[in-house]
Structure 1
Amino acid sequence: MKQFLHILVCFILTSSFAQNEKVFEQANSLYNEGNYAKAIEKYHTILDSGEHSAELFYNMANAHYKLNHIAPSIYYYEKALLLKPRDKEILNNITYARNMTIDDIEVLPEVGFSRLLNKATNTMSYDNWAKLAVVLVVLFVILFLFYVFSHRTAKKRFAFITSSVCIILAFVALAFAFHKYELVEKDQPAIVFAQEAQIKSEPNLRSTESFKLHEGTKVQVLDTINNWKKIKLSDGKTGWVLNDDIKMLKTF
């Protein structure tokens, strides 16, 4: 019975994948014909089925860009970058899309120790930092055993020094893994979808307006209270915006 269910699930998944491939080709044909709105509808049917990919988001972004849909084009380019952060075509096209936005927000560069720490941390994912820590711990155990059972002074000294270095580096790698995980968890980007969003000083409509944002602007979400989100801009400004005025990027 279990084997039958496994075969049935595999059959359903294979059929769904084949169907989505067909729809993807149809959408691409519509795009090439200049029927961008219909192409977007086809791409959305794939998303609604639960499947997503960098290629799908990239093509959706291109179609929205052709229709001058500022927020959706940037939104889907950004989602494609989450899956393929170094893709040259996505990086090139999102630059053109960002040029359509109204808000010109200065990016405050990181400085000092924080900049160096984050740059070092971002060289690998937290999974890879954790794997490196495990490898270093294994090396420490092997070298420590070699130190215990070795009888020659020179070999014992070498084993002791190298095992000590390995365990220190293991703790460093583990610290980087936790820091990377924290950076990823704190990174909650969103795109403004409202044509003009009022950013309030507090999470209620009666509070004073701090500033305005326009569609396509990227923000960081810091907190959520009821139907309000606290956001932060790349220049350091913060405020509260209605949930419906923005769309979170890390939702798949």
Structure 2
Amino acid sequence: MKNISYILIFLFGTLVFAQNHQLFDEANALYNEANYTEALVKYKTILDSGEHSAELYFNMANAHYKLNHIAPSIFYYEKALLLKPNDKDIQNNIAFARNMTVDAIDAVPEVGISKLIKNVTNTMSFDGWAKAAVIFVVFFVILFIVYYFTYSTSKKRFAFVTSNVSLLLAIVALVFAFHKFKLVEKDQPAIVFAQETKIKSEPNLRSAEAFVLHEGTKVQVLDTVSNWKKIKLSDGKTGWVLDDDIKMLKTF
């Protein structure tokens, strides 16, 4: 029975993939004919089937951009960037989309040791740092064995020093792996979808207005209380916004 189930799952997956591939081609053809709304319907159908890709998000963003949909275009460009952060086409197009936004928010530059540590941490993914730690541990074990069994004084000294260096590098890589994990977990970006939303100083409608944001602005979500999200802007300002006024980017 299990084999039959696996075969049925495989056949269903193949069928869905084929259908989505056809829908993607049809949507692209509609886009090239400037039928952006109809193209979006087909792209959305693919998305609803559970397929997620940078190419799909990029094309959806392009269609929304052509229709002057500020928030959706930026939202899908940002989702495409999450999957392909170094893609030049996505980077160029999102720059144009961001020019349509109303809010001009200056980013507070990071300086000093914190900036250096963050830059080094971001050179690799969490998996990359974890693999590096494992490799250095393996080197440490091999070199320690060499140190234990060799009789040459010079070789013992070399093996002792390099094994300790490998152990130190393994610890450093492990620290960076955990730091990268924390950075990823802490990074909870969202896009404002409301045409205009009043950001409150506390998570209730009676509290004072802190500032106003408009559609397309990117924020960081820090906390959640009931139907409110605490957000932070790139310039350091914080406040509370209603759940319905923003969309989280890391929901796939």
Matches within 5 A, 1:175-214: 175-214=175-214
Structure 1 distance, partners of 2:233, 2:18, is 42
CA–CA distance in structure 1, aligned partners of residues 249 and 105 of structure 2: 19
Provide the rounded CA distance (Å) in 2 between the counterparts of 1:191 and 1:52. Answer: 19
Instruction: Return the offset for 1:105.
Output: 0.2
For 2:125 and 2:95, locate their aligned partners in 1 and report how far apart those are by CA, in whole Å.
25
Structure 1 runs of 4+ aligned residues shifted over 6 Å read none
- The alignment status of 1:16 with 2:20, answered yes or no, reads no
- List per-residue Cα deviations over 1:5-39 (Å, max 9, x = no partner): 11111111000000000111111111111110111
Match of 1:92 in 2: 92
Q: Which residue identity lines up with residue 215 of structure 2 in the other structure? A: E
Quote the Cα distance in structure 1 between the aligned partners of 2:8 and 2:65: 40
Aligned to 1:231: 231
Q: Distance in 2 between matches of 1:227 and 1:8?
A: 41
Match of residue 163 from structure 2:
163
The sequence identity of aligned pairs, in percent, is 71
Q: Give the 3-state SS of the residue equivalent to 2:50 in structure 1.
A: coil
Is 1:145 the counterpart of 2:151? The answer is no
Question: In the alignment, residue 29 of structure 1 is paired with which amino acid?
Answer: A
Q: Distance in 1 between matches of 2:203 and 2:65?
A: 33
Of 6-15 and 116-125, more deviation after overlay is shown by 6-15
Question: What per-residue deviation string (whole Å, max 9, x for no partner) do you get for residues 214-245 of structure 1?
Answer: 00000000000000000000000000000000
Letter in 1 for 2:193: F
| CA distance in structure 2 between the partners assigned to 1:50 and 1:114 by the alignment | 38
Whole-Å separation in 2 of the counterparts to 1:6 and 1:52:
23
Letter in 2 for 1:85: P
Counterpart in the other structure of 1:244: 244
- Give the counterpart letter for 1:165 in structure 2: V
CA distance in 2, matches of 1:25, 1:52: 16
What is the alpha-carbon root mean square deviation over aligned residues? 0.5
| Partner SS for 1:179 | helix
**SS of aligned partner of 1:105:** coil
Shift of 1:67: 0.3
- In the alignment, which residue of structure 2 is the partner of 1:121? 121
**Deviation digits for residues 182-214 of structure 1 (CA, Å, limit 9, x no counterpart):** 000000000000000100000000000000000
* Inter-partner Cα distance in structure 2 for 1:166 and 1:8: 49
Corresponding position: 1:48 with 2:48: yes
**Aligned-residue offset at 1:155:** 0.5
Q: Measure, in 2, the Cα distance between the counterparts of 1:73 and 1:59.
A: 10
CA distance in 2, matches of 1:145, 1:48: 55
The gaps in structure 2 that reach 5 residues or longer are none
> TM-score of the superposition, structure 2-length normalised?
0.99
- How much has 1:177 moved relative to structure 2? 0.2
Distance in 2 separating the partners of 1:201 and 1:3: 58
User: SS where residue 202 of structure 2 aligns?
Assistant: coil
CA distance in 1, matches of 2:230, 2:161: 50
